Structure 1
Amino acid sequence: MFFDIYEVFLTSAVSGALTSEFHLTSAVLAPVLASTFVGMFIGSIVLGRMADRVGRRRAFMINLALYSLASLAGAFSPNAVWLMISRFVAGLGVGAELPLADAYLSDMLPARQRGRYTAWAYTISFIAVPIVGFLARGSVGHLAGIAGWRWIFALGALGSAIVFLLRTTLPESPRWLEAVGRGPEADSITSRIEAEALRGGHRLTEPTRRDPEAPVRPARAGVRVLLTPPLRRRTLMMAVFQVFQVFGYYGFGTLVPLILAAKGYALSTSLLFTALTFLGYPVGSLLSLPLVERFERKYLVVGSVVAMAAFGLAFGFSNSMVPIVIFGFLYTAASNVFANGYHIYQAEIFPTAVRSTAASGTYAISRLATGAMPFILLPILAAVGAGWVFVIICGALVVVALDIGLIGPRTTGLSTEDVVVA
């Protein structure tokens, strides 16, 4: 997950260095920024569906292998076309990473700790954002005669290759195995987990016993089930959510260096401001830890969205260093309370057999919307300034709050099976 976040913020963070290196115009920069997200859109759909058909673990391995190779290729880009293609392929690999992780963690974690431990995973992953921000300050220079941004791409490839090796130890999801009719394998893995818990001194409750004469049938796992009641309402809710949330979440992270440049700050100064505001991402994620189990998840999402809208407007209309850094930090902190809440939420409202398909399919819409976002917000930034960019972002966040607040089911403290039938 660290490297998914690293990838999402990478290209925009080094956009100034790329513009200088390849002499990019704004017309060329937009498709370069968009190429990663278009790849993520396709990868999220394909690999997310694959995870429900061949298993979470196998899909995990495929996506990391694709990303690692493509990120390394991007480090050797001789021109903008090569860079765009390598960014697209890297997006294919990393596109389903977060919804896959959401589905896997929802499968594996107990109901009363699901939110807290998932939030911990995201807190660690969001350390990537300020790291990218501070690394980007070196992207305009050279190390050993090689441009700094190339080293940054290569670091992503190396780190994901290490994670690929670590993931070979992950067990397959027993919930997924049971859902597709592979009961003996599910029981074998669950027995190993139980044995490990017993060795650790834990007491286990007896499971609910099933009628031994009842036939075991795989759960319906087709995409069509997401478009029929009772899941159709939730699928449409998440589709609307994903279209509009990207303007609030990725709109800031992707465009903040360009927004600061438009306010008249030099590239080195704007990169420093960006790095300082990006510190809010892991801090906000850490703040979410005591909140995700204490408050109903849907209301936590709505409340954090409202805070983002307020801080975003203040940031957009600020013109001096102190309020820019303060409101930027508060915005990113609120946005990661929001992000942790919704990543937990989007996986737990769908059944196991289609959990990855649903989370990845609706999340893919956000990747496509993020790819389109530079073509929408960059012309507005150029025409009327940063303040009006955040007015549009604020409007999108209002839609998000209404969508989840009015339609979303309650989930906190419930097993995933209980959430589905609620």
Structure 2
Amino acid sequence: MSHDTPGAVRPTASVAKRLDRLPVLPTHRRITTVIGIGLLFDMYENNLSGTLSQVLHSDFALSATDVKLVLASVFLGQFFGAILMGRFADRFGRRQAFLINLAVYSFFSLAGAFSPSVGWLIATRFLAGIGIGAEQTLSDSYLADVLPARHRGRLMAWAYTIGFCGVPAVGLTAMWLVPLEPFGVAGWRWLFALGALGSVVVWVWRRGLFESPRWLAAVGRNTEAEALTTGLEDEARRLGKELPEPGGRDTAHPLHDAPQDEPPAVSALPIGPFLRQLFSARYRRRTVQSWILCLLSTVGYYGFGTLAPMVLTAKGYDIVQGLGYSAAVFIGYPVGALLAVPLMDRVERRSLVALSATGMALAGLGFAFAGSPGTVIACGFVYTLVSNVFSSASHVFLAEQYPTPIRAQASGTAYSLSKLTAAALPFVLLPILEHGGPGMLFATIAAAMGTLAATVFLLADRATGHPVSTEG
């Protein structure tokens, strides 16, 4: 048991170590839940256009190019949002960024519900994407900052388990609402409105979050960092929890052992110097593997989630059947995230990312060549289940690659590349589906996931159970 007294103030340098020695507290569980519900609306948004693609095609008489633009617009907006809000979070704080990104998303998602034309729909999807684009990287950075190292993977997996409930939610809600016109308004418009109104509720809850003590210490706001850390320690003592002495610096681990002749990292550098910092000798290998991970992950992840309804149409199922099968398949998303909870802190994350990516490649090929509804649903369910083990592991893994002062900006820059790839996917994968069929489509996806698995396994460092770095 630690001998410090309630309310004792520790030196600023010990804030990160004191946070990592904490047990799991009710505050940690509350934070995880609030972040998870916010992620639910991010997942809802990411899968909304793909789920409704065939419906919008008939409602707006969309051309082939229009369909691609509708699918791409939200991801293109997320590309810019991830970069802008990542920089904002490192400069002004995680909490402020959380509140701004949800407010922007809510407004423009609601505006999309009133779209009179395809141009309006594309514009509002793009702007809503700017708002929601940094949701996952902000969540990853915040949770990596505030959760104890020993429990970080498991709790972040719980947050994503809650979040991934948004994927079957949009599928099931679409299956229910699309054939209807409540109060004379087309069902698909209600789907946009529901996303907007739900995120307003989350915005209210997020006002109660505290700022990251690690970030506060990193930017010199030491008094606030000390006060928040001491409050968490006092909560542990009130619950009768043991507080071991704060551990030493993890000098054996390459993610946290900085060369002594390098200057400390500085948050929110101008983009040129910042990119030079990312590709300095210290960060180069991490940056290369993180960028390849983010560039290729969307080929498998969003390639399936966005195009699965179209693959089912190509197999001869009508719109309502396709929505029903998609909703059943999408149940695998929260189940997979739940499966990741016990695996996250027991299996090295580098290996978990590589193995689950390989599983996605194999399940996708099975989905492509499945000939009966039962086989289609079974292979699709396995795909979504494995893909969310992959997603949960890769999000925690990415958040662990950089120190606190640049964590949101660096991981946000890497993550933004996934959105750029996702925006390009309709223009790349739809022609493959149209001309080569589901088999060629999923052979392409399998090749991308195989390359990703090899890159992570060969280039990435071990991260499971290690403290995240606070210093540059």
- Residue identity in the other structure for 2:68: A
Measured after TM superposition, the shift of residue 220 of structure 1 is: 2.5
Q: Which amino acid aligns with 1:165?
A: V
Q: Once the two structures are aligned, what percentage of the paired residues are identical?
A: 48
| Counterpart position of 2:67 | 29
* Alpha-carbon distance, 1:136 to partner: 1.5
Is residue 155 of structure 2 the alignment partner of residue 148 of structure 1? no
Retained in 2: the 8 A contact 1:179–1:218?
no
Which residue of the partner structure matches residue 186 of structure 1? 225
Question: 2-side partners of 1:390 and 1:80: how far apart?
Answer: 29
268, 271, 288: which one pairs with 1:236? Answer: 288
> Residues of 2 paired with 1:117 and 1:209: CA distance?
23
1:409 corresponds in structure 2 to 461
The normalised TM-score by structure 1 is 0.96
- Counterpart in 1 of 2:171? 133
Q: Distance in 1 between matches of 2:453 and 2:248?
A: 41
1:201 pairs with 2:201:
no
Structure 2 partner of 1:376: 428
Change (3 A) 1:188 1:83: same
Matches within 5 A, 1:312-327: 312-327=364-379
Q: What is aligned with 2:451?
A: 399
Residue 159 in 1 paired to residue 217 in 2? no
Alpha-carbon distance in structure 2 between the residues aligned to 1:251 and 1:209? 43
Q: Which amino acid aligns with 2:124?
A: S
In structure 2, distance between residues paired with 1:339 and 1:183: 34
1:12 counterpart residue number? 50
Residues 181 and 218 of structure 1 are in contact (CA less than 8 Å); yes or no, is this contact kept in structure 2? no
For 1:84, which of 116, 122, 127 is the aligned residue?
122
State the distance in 1 between where 2:264 and 2:370 align.
56
Contact 1:57 1:172 in 2 (8 A): yes
Equivalence for 2:88: 50
Partner of 1:246: 298
Deviations 1:257-281 (A, max 9, x none): 0010011111111111100100100
For the pair 1:72 / 2:118, whether they are aligned, the reply is no
2:439 aligned residue: 387
**Pairs aligned (count):** 414
1:344-391 Cα offsets, whole Å, 9 max, x none, are 000011111111011111000000100000000111111111111000
Asked if 1:176 corresponds to 2:228, the answer is no
The one-letter code matched in structure 2 to 1:146 is V
C-alpha deviation, 1:218, in angstroms: 7.4
Letter in 2 for 1:392: T
| From 265, 274, 280, the counterpart of 2:317 | 265
Aligned counterparts of 2:278 and 2:214: Cα–Cα separation in 1: 19
Q: Which residue of 2 aligns with 1:109?
A: 147
Aligned residue identity for 2:141: A
The equivalent position to 1:340 in structure 2, one of 385, 388, 392, is 392
Structure 2 distance, partners of 1:338, 1:240, is 15
- Structure 2 partner of 1:278: 330
Tell me the amino acid that sits aligned with residue 218 of structure 2: A
Question: Structure 1, unaligned stretches of length 5 or more?
Answer: 211-216
In the TM superposition, residue 203 of structure 1 has moved relative to its aligned partner by 2.1
Aligned to 1:213: none
Letter in 2 for 1:265: Y
Distance 1:383 1:411 in 2: 42
Local SS of the residue matching 1:14: helix
Measured against aligned partners, the alpha-carbon deviations of 1:233-278 in whole angstroms (never above 9, x if no partner) come to 1111111111111111110000000010011111111111100100
Q: Offset at 1:219?
A: 4.5
